[in-house]
Chains A and B, each alone.
Chain A
Amino acid sequence: MQRLGKRTSPHPAKRGNDDPVPEGEGIAALVKVREVSPPVLPTGRLALGRVWSGERLFPYLMVAPATAILLLFTLYPTLFNLNASLRDISVYNFTSGAHRFIGLRNYEVLWRSAEFWAATGATMLYVVASVTIGFLVAFGLALVLQHTPGLRTLVSPFLLVPLMATPAVVALAWNQMLVSELGVVNYLLAQFGLPTPPWLGATPWPLVTVVLIDVWQHIPFMFFVLLAGLTVLPDEPFEAAAIDGAGAWDAFRYLTLPLLQPVIMVTLIFRTMNAFTSFDVIYVLTGGAPGTGTEILNLFLYRKAFKAFEIGQAGAVAVAMVILTALIGVALIRLMQREETV
């Protein structure tokens, strides 16, 4: 009989050497547990009635509202957009309904559009730079603060601030701080005799600026997720490695990184998808300028929809963005799965 209060690992491998193995346990017993009886499939009218009544109906009822909302607010707009992307819809014929089905013409126009490819290039640059820089800084911070709980307690509230701020407000605040001659950032740099870059001026500074602001705003998310992952890593492998004489770098390279890999991949996937949705900060800060240097796909879509009023083409941009993000998402997930099997 197990004594109350005595901690016993549910996994046989983790039991102490002195723990008795109960009769019938071991690998065979574990395998046996998995031999579950197959579900009895209902037959006939009586059985059908049993499925759609009582306890079996309850779960469907519970998920029905969420499913309905999902269909209404996600599936319907998606299908609507897909349909719009195949029509010559503009602001001029939207309400009259006098628009025609034009097949893939909008996609063809997009494919031949230098502006679309420029926006795609700017988006890729922006996403890769934001996610990479943000990840490196957040991971570094998490590694440093993992073993310094006092400092962590002190720093964490400040790290939360960018995450809680509204993007448009963030953009306005940074705009005031970065504007040449009047902004505090260049004033401080000048005080220390440092160069004062035209943060929102000549190419490529505006793109650098919006990347840095995005990094600043999203470091906390990556930091807290990675820190949570680091704090739940098991101690045993590290202790064993230390006994075997492994240095800090070896422990990081051969233990921390592989063990944390699923957390890292999830963080990168979420952050990449999030970076693709950027709009507010860039729209307020640069509006896509100078030229189209900071016009990422979201801003290009906005220009198509609300400045050119070419709703069909904007729909095609949206579909292209979905395909692009899906491809990147699938690639990242595949990478994660491959790493897990190695």
Chain B
Amino acid sequence: MILFDGGWTPSLKIMLEKYKADQGVEVVWDAPPLSGFYQKQLSLMLAKERTPDIISSNDTILSQYAGSGLIEPLGELLADKSLAGEYNWDELAERTRTAASWSKELGQQGGVYGLPFELATWGYFYRSDLIEKPPETFAEYLEISKKFTRSINPSSPTQFGAAAHAKQLPPQYKEWYAWMWAYGGELFDDKLNPTMNGPEAVKSLEAFYGLLLEHKAMPPDTATYSDTEKSAAFQNEVVPHVMHWAHQWSVYGDKEKSPKIADKVKFTMVPGMPGPGGQVRRVPYAQQWMFGLNPNGQNKKEAFKFIAWLTGPVGMRAWVEAGWNSPPRPSLLGDAQLKAKHPSFAVTDEAIKIGRYGPTFFKEYAQIADSKLLPALSQVLAGSQTSKQALDSVAADAREILTSAGY
């Protein structure tokens, strides 16, 4: 099995031991760091290696893997009760199931390629001793950020008002999506025409990155901030709030991991924008990680049996009890006992109902997002392009990629 070393590592190790003890089957886990994971897994698959049997994918890259024949369809295995056991596919939310599926034809019901084991959504974390009422809208978020920037307000207890992941890795665009969707922007229209350079999307990027470029309300080296630096800024009282994965509660709320803020931190849904009827339109970004099978693997049935057990109702509950904090199953997210142990479940459970995934229905999405959108966003932060110029260039590149792919 290959899966990068992440928040699931301690609890997953327990589960591998448990499976070995219960079933007598040892699952060997290759856990490279995230920075080299995609490259390593892709290289193995392109080389048609027989190992690992189990590969992993998020919703962004699943369509690419499926569309390139790099991941095994799971439909037949899922239908085989002797292998799938008690796995309950129908319990998963519809959008979770959609993100685990892919079809060659746009708009068609896709086949299953992944069994989800992580469902993550964005939440808003804030220092309750500084921020009395969390922002409902991004306009309020901007005002709070400016208020807690010392160069704007010399009496601010924090140096900067906001921090963001702006290093050229996928969380960069995922954070912006929450702004863009709330502003009413879209990446593509129904006919797959790129629309990420529409007025709402441009406005949302101007507002978001204006925090650095216009108001100097973010640390000056934000362009190279990853989640690590963003978290450190919040944990060390440099900024009063951050938007981050809801399951980060296990870090920010932990007195050992975040001694300076653990007593003061609270979290809730991400802000949104005023929508029709006075309602606030919040659109937290959602993503899921899934296990899949290597088409060239030699132990497909055994491998499937393991992932079906691990991600099924029984295995997933055991996994959560072992410490895992982002299960995709509604029965666990809504479980009162587990909610008490994992406060992030409440936010995730609510966020998944209104949140959105990135486009998962065409295989070129990861290529457009990673190779075109990321550098463009970084160009905006570097001040070398305006939001409009950068997004126009992404739209043009996306159009060219999709046209040459036959869409």
Contacts and interface: CB of A to CB of B under 8 A. Distances in A.
Interface of A: 91-96, 115, 175, 178-182, 198-203, 206, 283-293, 295, 302-304, 306-309
B378 A291 contact: yes
A179 B367 CA distance: 30
A293 B379 CA distance: 9
Interface residues on B, range: 35 or more
A69 to B, nearest CB: 19
B75 to A, nearest CB: 20
B242 interface: no
A289 B39 contact: no
Contacts of B168: 287-289
B374 A307 contact: yes
Nearest to A309: B367
Contacts of A203: 382-384
Contacts of A92: 64, 67-68, 363, 405
A202 B382 contact: yes
B381 A290 contact: yes
B68 A91 contact: yes
B371 A308 contact: yes
B186 interface: no
B25 interface: no
B238 A182 contact: yes
A202 B222 CA distance: 9
A289 B405 CA distance: 29
Residue of A94, A179, A202, A290 with highest tally of chain B CB at under 10 A:
A290
Contact of B232 (A91, A93, A95, A182): A182
B169 A291 contact: no
B70 interface: yes
Interface in B306-334: none
Contact of A202 (B159, B169, B220, B372): B220
B286 interface: no
Contact of A291 (B35, B42, B379): B379
B236 interface: yes
A245 B210 CA distance: 67
Contacts, number: 120
B7 interface: no
A199 B374 CA distance: 21
B232 A201 contact: no
A288 B70 contact: no
Given A96-B69, A182-B236, A291 B367 contact: no
4 A-B pairs with the lowest CB-CB distances in the bound complex, closest first: A291-B382, A308-B371, A290-B382, A290-B223
Nearest to A179: B229
B222 to A, nearest CB: 7
B220 A198 contact: yes
Nearest to A283: B35
Interface string B60-72: 0000100111100
B340 interface: no
B123 to A, nearest CB: 23
Contacts of B355: none
B370 interface: yes
B166 interface: yes
A201 B223 contact: yes
B33 to A, nearest CB: 9
B86 to A, nearest CB: 34
B32 to A, nearest CB: 12
A91 B46 contact: yes
Given A92-B68, A95-B69, A291-B382, A303 B221 contact: no
B160 interface: yes
Nearest to A91: B68
Given A291-B382, A306-B42, A309-B367, A95 B68 contact: yes
B406 to A, nearest CB: 11
A291 B381 contact: yes
14 contacts: A94-B68, A95-B48, A95-B70, A178-B221, A182-B236, A198-B221, A200-B221, A201-B221, A202-B383, A286-B223, A289-B381, A291-B384, A303-B375, A306-B39
Contacts of B224: 175, 200-201, 206, 285-287, 289-290
